[in-house]
Amino acid sequence: MTTPKDVLADAKEKGVRVVDIRFMDFPGIWQHFTVPIGELEESSFDDGYGFDGSSIRGWKPINASDMLVVPDPTTAKMDPFFKEPTLVLIGNIVDPITREPYSRDPRYIAQKAEAYLKSTGLGDTAFIGPEAEFFIFDDIKFQSERNGAFYEIDSEEGIWNSGREESPNQGYKPRHKEGYFPVPPTDKFQDMRTEMLLTLEDLGIDVECQHHEVATAGQSEIDMRFKPLLQMGDQLVWFKYVLKNVAYKHGRTVTFMPKPLFEDNGTGMHTHLSIWKEGKPLFAGEKYAGVSQEALYAIGGILKHCKALCAFTNPTTNSYKRLVPGFEAPVNLAYSSSNRSAAVRIPMYSASPKAKRIEFRTPDPSCNGYMAFSAILMAAIDGIDNKIDPGDPLDKDIYGLPPEELADIPSAPGSLDEALEALQADHEFLLKGDVFTKDVIDIWTKYKIENEINQVKLRPHPHEFFLYYDI
């Protein structure tokens, strides 16, 4: 375990001149401020640093704004992008008067989720493995005004540029839905993705692979090796930070928006979960697809609470442009070992008991990882506690099912409104162990409705002019 003394000694050895203190805001954007190395002492890891909490989205009101961020010595890493040698420390948010952890700090929610798992006796470690997809674009322009709105995406790889004058245009642009695994020169981003991968590895983040994804225009995926929940929450924010900054260095831009392109694949984040106890996997067994009864109950919990989970795992209005029934999206609230349109899949790549896990396919990478991973774990624990039967697996081709049979399969929410309504109706499982609080759920709902849902609803959509201008 890294101690404050270890951090200070390592900083001296590496010639660190400044320290960047980072934390996650409520919706899920990394925040930071920088202090000279002389301001970091052993006592700083207890005393923390003050900041204005009222300026952070979804946090303190202006009349009670003072907060502390207390750095966690185990999170120390060197920033790979700054000019001066910079030590990065992720902090926990604390009330300066009571010294209590702040209930709306997403990282604290993840810490409580891990503690709750241990308190149940079911297991001692929840391993999370997210497959975060993303797009690499050349150029993005957007504007939303009272009298007009537009967005425009461009990419050297975009099939729409097959006829563009590029002096010369050399072709090799992946067609819509044909971007999965082609070698260069069709895959234009091999070297950039490898640089992203190696930068992550240099930070101590284990990576399993990188590759082009299905869509045209640079859709890609880099998979991190599974880690305990809190550690993966920390790694996901590093992941987004590294990918955006490597792309920025190369004059490109990365987005984790779930659905930036019309009529091509959206961006998901299939999330693998396994629970272990005393070094043994809880999800390996002799039931369907080689899983245990506990794994099936965990699947039952995720399927039962999926609509509420989506408020955290698919937390943007854009998320539901990807989750549309009938378009190969993982919206069907069923499980399978092979059917990729089911919300939960049991991967069959390995027969090893250690590899047995469940894959929740509905989430996308617009989420706040600390909160999304915690909510998924809480649903799985609830399923095990209450022995929730997930029903029979769905191994048929969903798109070949007759309408009457398809009607019996429930679906994920069709909008963020629907997901938030489900969360308000179904959140008792999240309150166990005080992991989520009623305040967190209410403020999350209020923030999303006021700042995102209503803002989108109030604005005319450009396609409405195409449909209705001459009405």
Q: Calculate the CA 25 to chain-centre distance.
A: 14
- Given the residues 114, 133, 156, 195, select the one marked as catalytic: 133
**From the candidates 52, 139, 428, 439, which is the catalytic residue?**
52
270 is known as an active-site residue: yes
**Residue of 221, 234, 294, 364 marked active site:** 221
Instruction: Report the DSSP pairing between strands 77-78 and 86-94.
Output: antiparallel
Q: Which of 187, 359, 364, 382 is catalytic?
A: 359
User: Would you call 278 a catalytic residue per the annotation?
Assistant: no
d(CA 458, CA 317): 13
- Annotation says 361 is catalytic: yes
Q: Using an 8 Å Cβ cutoff, are 43 and 35 in contact? A: no
Among candidate residues 131, 157, 364, 382, the one labeled active-site is 131
Question: What phi, psi does 82 have (nearest 5°)?
Answer: -70, 150
| Cis peptide, bond prior to residue 185, ω within 30 of zero | yes
Catalytic annotation, pick one of 57, 250, 340, 461: 340
**Residue of 193, 361, 364, 382 marked active site:** 361
CA distance 371 to 229: 10
Of 22, 104, 252, 270, which is the active-site residue? 270
What is the DSSP code string of 92-158? EEE-TTT-PBPTT-HHHHHHHHHHHHHHHTS-SEEEEEEEEEEEEESEEEEEEETTEEEEEEE-TT-
* Tokens of residue 145, six digits: 């005004």
List the catalytic residue out of 157, 213, 294, 364.
Answer: 213
Q: Is 133 a catalytic residue?
A: yes
Distances (CA, A) of 140 to 154, 160, 162, 171, 218: 6, 15, 19, 22, 13
* 300 burial level (CB within 10 Å; 0-12, 13-18, 19+): buried
What residues does 86 pair with on adjacent strands? 18
Residue 340 annotated among the catalytic residues of the structure: yes
Identify whether 178 is a catalytic site residue.
no
Contact 379, 429 (CB under 8 A): yes
Across the strands, what pairs with 428?
Answer: none
52 included as an active-site residue: yes
The DSSP result for 419-449, as a single string, is: HHHHHHHS-HHHHGGGSS-HHHHHHHHHHHI
CB 132 within 8 A of CB 394: no
Which residues are catalytic, by number? 52, 131, 133, 213, 221, 270, 340, 359, 361
